[in-house]
Amino acid sequence: MTHTFTELFKQLGLPNDAMSIAAFLKLRRPLSTATRVEDAPFWSLGQRHFLKEQMASDADWAELIDRLSLALRQD
């Protein structure tokens, strides 16, 4: 199953319209390459748990979480 950023942000309990997603990325960029996306300091415990679980199990969300990671590392 292919997911979208809109769905991922909804799953994370974040505003998921295009403007809110763009604002989230702009506010939190750039994320250090030394920091795994799931360990970023701006996630809540629940969000962090979801991200870690999805990445560890290589779930349907993993590819999209990788794309989120790349987007957060852009200047």
pLDDT in tens, 8-21: 999 999 999 999 99
Domain that holds residue 13: 5-73
Q: Is the pLDDT of residue 58 over 90?
A: no
Contact 38, 51 (CB under 8 A): yes
Q: Which residue has the higher pLDDT, 36 or 1?
A: 36
Band (pLDDT 50/70/90 cuts) for residue 69 is: very high
How many CB atoms lie under 10 A from the CB of residue 49? 12
Band (pLDDT 50/70/90 cuts) for residue 59 is: confident
**Total residues found in the chain within this entry:** 75
Number of domains in the chain: 1
CATH number for the domain that contains residue 32? 1.10.10.1130
Is the N-terminal amide bond of 30 cis, ω within 30° of 0? yes
